[in-house]
Homo-oligomer: A and B are copies of this chain.
Amino acid sequence: MNAAISLDTIDRRLLELVQEDATTPLAQLAEAVGLSSTPCWRRLQRLKEAGVITRQVALVDAERVNVGVTVIVSVRTAVHTEEWFERFRATCEAIPEVVEFYRMSGDVDYLLRVVVPDIKAYDAVYKRLIAGTNLHDVSSSFAMEQLKYTTALPLKYAL
């Protein structure tokens, strides 16, 4: 279900293109990869069915919707039970300001990326995070500038 899949050169080029712009007309994609539209369409279909392409979304400018501040939150926990984890996971899942959430190796247990309009709003999210879940240590770092952000994954490693 979630194994790597076999992709040839054309598949990769198609993925590169749609990762950058999913509105590109099929005919144009087809031309770019040197195919006619039908096989190109079938390939895209196959990539969707295989779960390589998961979905197609509109990206929104963070500044224009007033969430220009991103905060990186490092969390260390005292408790390490399954029950605590599930609770924390559910909390993060429910907070829309938490846009990324990783379980880490090393000294930090969890890492979050949170987007908010300002420090005051972050404080509200912070309170929501620690409410209910017993966090041992929470360290928040503010990003001054987003220098790069892309949803396009490198395809050179694809099998």
Residues A143 and B104 in contact, CB atoms below 8 Å apart: yes
Nearest CB of chain B from residue A158's CB, rounded to whole Å: 4
* Chain B proximity mask over A119-159: 1 for CB below 8 Å, otherwise 0: 00100000000000000000001111111111111111111
Known contacts A19-B57, A22-B57; A65 and B142 CB within 8 A of each other: no
Does A66 sit within 8 A of B, measured CB to CB? Answer: yes
Total copies of the chain: 2
Given A70-B102, A143-B103, A153–B60 Cβ distance below 8 Å? Answer: yes
Prevailing SS type, chain A contact patch:
mixed
Chain A interface, number of residues (Cβ within 8 angstroms): 72
- Nearest first, the 9 closest Cβ-Cβ pairs linking A and B are A101-B148, A96-B154, A18-B58, A102-B143, A103-B145, A66-B157, A101-B147, A65-B158, A22-B58
